[in-house]
Amino acid sequence: MDAQFGLEDQQNINQFSKLNAQLHELDSLITVQQSNIDALEDAGNELMLVDDEEVMFTLGEGFVMTPVPDAEEKVSTASEKEEAELAALREKKQAVEEKMDHLKKVLYGKFGRENINLEE
């Protein structure tokens, strides 16, 4: 197959490369976000086991004494926020993957799989 390589092809390859870098960044952010959610879940579970009326709660770089129900509410609110951010990241990742799949079809259709490598 002797396909001509033009400006549009170069732009598609560059766009694919940028999307690939963005995909890797999103994967990293999703991993961190999931770790945050897991930590909040662990904190919520620990709060259920507390016998005291107040617990130490992180505020910035310090700690404050907080009633357990308030701490549970703060953890729950933070967990919901983190879950929403995770869902948004996953949506962005899906959109990036869809764009990459489209570019793969275009580029493989023109050059064939043996002439261009768009896999990891």
Tell me the pLDDT tens digit for each residue of 2-54.
567 889 999 999 999 999 999 999 999 999 999 999 999 999 999 988 888 88
pLDDT the model gives residue 20: 96
The CA distance from 120 to 111, in Å, is: 18
The CA distance from 86 to 111, in Å, is: 37
In this prediction the pTM is: 0.83
Please name which of 87, 94, 91, 78 lies closest in space to residue 38, comparing C-alpha atoms. Answer: 78
Phi and psi, residue 50, nearest 5°: -70, 135
Half-sphere exposure of 11 (CA within 13 A, CB side): 3
pLDDT the model gives residue 2: 58
| Residue 95 in this model has a pLDDT that exceeds 60 | yes
Average pLDDT, the chain: 91
Pairing of strands 62-67, 54-59: antiparallel
Tell me the pLDDT tens digit for each residue of 1-12.
456 788 999 999
pLDDT the model gives residue 119: 78
> From residue 82, how far is each of 42, 48, 85, 87, 110 by CA, in Å?
14, 20, 5, 9, 42
For residue 46, the tally of other CB atoms under 10 A from its CB is: 12
Please name the residue that has the structure tokens 């310090």.
Answer: 62
Does residue 1 sit in helix, strand or coil? coil
